[in-house]
A and B are shown apart, each in its own frame.
Chain A
Amino acid sequence: MSAQLDAIKLSNAQIAWRAAQDIEDGAYVNLGIGFPEMIAKFQPEGRDVIYHTENGVLGFGAAPAEGEEDWDLINAGKKAVTLKPSAAFFHHADSFAMVRGGHLDLAVLGAYQVAENGDLANWSTGKGGVPAVGGAMDLVHGARRVAVVTDHVTRKGEPKLVQRCSMPLTGLACVTRIYTSLAVVDIENGHFVLREKLLQISFDDLQAVTGAELKVEGDFADLAVPEL
């Protein structure tokens, strides 16, 4: 099964592309470190999206050319960024007032596990290592919508969409939508609701690699993403 899945599943760039299509014009958005940052590259033309980074910038843009970095102008991943017109700087307490105060329209994070009740585990595997939480626990409480981008299964083929998270939680009942390598799934009233799936996978096969019931309300659409 997992070899078949590897053959059809979306790349991280394609998952990021799909997530970018849902970000509306004028939205204030925080993209988590790593994979979620890629979403900004696929922002559809004609939409003005204002990106927030925890370390105190609204309205940052792409990375500068090599050699042009200013290390006082970085994002939460400590990477050099540039400014778009109308950018703003602020200190950390104001930055997290934007987060917890409900001023962000969307936060997109990665995940180890997401449960059908919206619980998210994404900061610690619970297996030792140095614990590091950063802003994840703040981001899941405050943004009006909290989305996750993730592979549908782990490298070992185990479901990442589960009934209850077994790993340490980042937040309770906080995730509203999941973009995976196989499907787009909403969380509504404590259930996974299938919105889109790849044409190449049957509903039954998708259910088989999902750790909790995938509900269908009305119809679901094909998850169609360009080659990237």
Chain B
Amino acid sequence: MDKTIVSPAAAVADIGDGATVMIGGFGGSGAPVELIHALVDAGPRNLTVVNNNAGNGHVGLAALIEQGQVARLICSFPRSTDPKVFTDLYFAGKIELEIVPQGTLAERIRAGGAGIPAFYTPTSYGTELAEGKPVAEFDGRHYVQERWLKADFALIKAELGDPLGNLTYRMAALNFNPLMAMAAEKTIAQVSRIVPAGSIDPEHVVTPGIFVDGVVEISEPKQEEVLNREGAVYP
């Protein structure tokens, strides 16, 4: 078995118009910038994107949004140091926004990957973000029912990957990546290095290869924060 993909372009080639795409990362940390830019180049439109944020500056997710490819965004915090791209489209009514509390977003994705269609959480009870959702009382406290979240594709970033898709991560770049890997029909990971099968200690594997469909090596991945400080614009 070899899940290695030769290029970012080949990795995103199957993503078509109207797809739901989970994109890993928290701000720029753990964001698969090169895969996102390949998606900008490929040009599918009317995408639903799941990410914690709404992009920053004019690279990565912000570039995808700026090209008008994202019809709907599911996120917890659509603000950043330079949120203009998203904000302008939002107020122009050109992008739909579903705000989800961050922990609920993480758990909905985890549930999607774990085969749990719904769960109850104390988060958002009594607030406008709980409107229309079933509420139940357990042991004297109120909880809100939330549904799982799944996607057609997940684009994630990891550190080491092997041809079977086993992944390790670097520092806090973990964030949503291992969860999204579980929750998509097809998960593509960009990794800093593809190593031979057997060279990742099984005790160090964070995402087992069963959750991963493709691995593409980006040996020196760009950091969104660095690109923004350089004033980069994609494409």
Show the binding face of A for B, using Cβ within 8 Å.
Answer: 53-57, 69-74, 78, 89-93, 95-96, 99-100, 130-138, 141-142, 168-172
State A95–B177 Cα separation when bound (angstroms): 13
Question: Contact: B87 with A130, CB < 8 Å?
Answer: yes
Q: Which of A74, A90, A92, A130 contacts B27 (CB 8 A)?
A: A74
Q: Which residues of B contact A170 (CB under 8 A)?
A: 127
Nearest chain B CB to A45 CB, angstrom units: 27
Looking at B11-19, B118-126, B212-220, the stretch in contact with chain A turns out to be: B118-126
Q: Closest residue of chain B to A53, judged by CB?
A: B172
Question: Contact: A100 with B123, CB < 8 Å?
Answer: yes
Interface of A is mostly: loop
Question: Contact: B172 with A172, CB < 8 Å?
Answer: no
> Contacts A91-B178, A91-B179, A137-B101: A168 and B106 contacting too (C-beta < 8 A)?
no
Q: Which of B81, B100, B174, B176 contacts A89 (CB 8 A)?
A: B174
> Contacts A130-B79, A137-B127, A169-B127: A91 and B29 contacting too (C-beta < 8 A)?
no
Cβ of B43 under 8 Å from chain A: no
> Contacts A135-B101, A141-B122, A169-B126: A92 and B172 contacting too (C-beta < 8 A)?
no
Question: Contact: B129 with A137, CB < 8 Å?
Answer: yes
Q: Which of B86, B104, B109, B126 contacts A138 (CB 8 A)?
A: B104
Question: Contact: A93 with B106, CB < 8 Å?
Answer: yes
Nearest chain B CB to A74 CB, angstrom units: 5
Q: Which residues of B contact A132 (CB under 8 A)?
A: 76-79, 99
Cβ of B128 under 8 Å from chain A: yes
Question: Contact: B83 with A130, CB < 8 Å?
Answer: yes
Q: Closest residue of chain A to B171, judged by CB?
A: A72
State A115–B177 Cα separation when bound (angstroms): 38
Question: Contact: B175 with A92, CB < 8 Å?
Answer: yes
Q: List 7 A-B contacts (CB under 8 A).
A: A72-B170, A78-B26, A92-B102, A134-B76, A136-B101, A137-B124, A169-B128
Nearest chain B CB to A35 CB, angstrom units: 16
Question: Contact: B80 with A78, CB < 8 Å?
Answer: yes
State A17–B120 Cα separation when bound (angstroms): 37
Question: Contact: B27 with A78, CB < 8 Å?
Answer: yes
Nearest chain B CB to A64 CB, angstrom units: 13
Question: Contact: B225 with A142, CB < 8 Å?
Answer: no
Question: Contact: B174 with A96, CB < 8 Å?
Answer: no
Cβ of B30 under 8 Å from chain A: yes
> Contacts A93-B106, A134-B102, A169-B126: A55 and B177 contacting too (C-beta < 8 A)?
no
Q: Which of A72, A95, A136, A141 contacts B173 (CB 8 A)?
A: A72
> Contacts A130-B90, A137-B123, A137-B129: A71 and B102 contacting too (C-beta < 8 A)?
no
Question: Contact: A91 with B175, CB < 8 Å?
Answer: yes
Q: Which residues of A contact B109 (CB under 8 A)?
A: 93
State A172–B126 Cα separation when bound (angstroms): 6
Question: Contact: A96 with B103, CB < 8 Å?
Answer: yes
Cβ of B8 under 8 Å from chain A: no
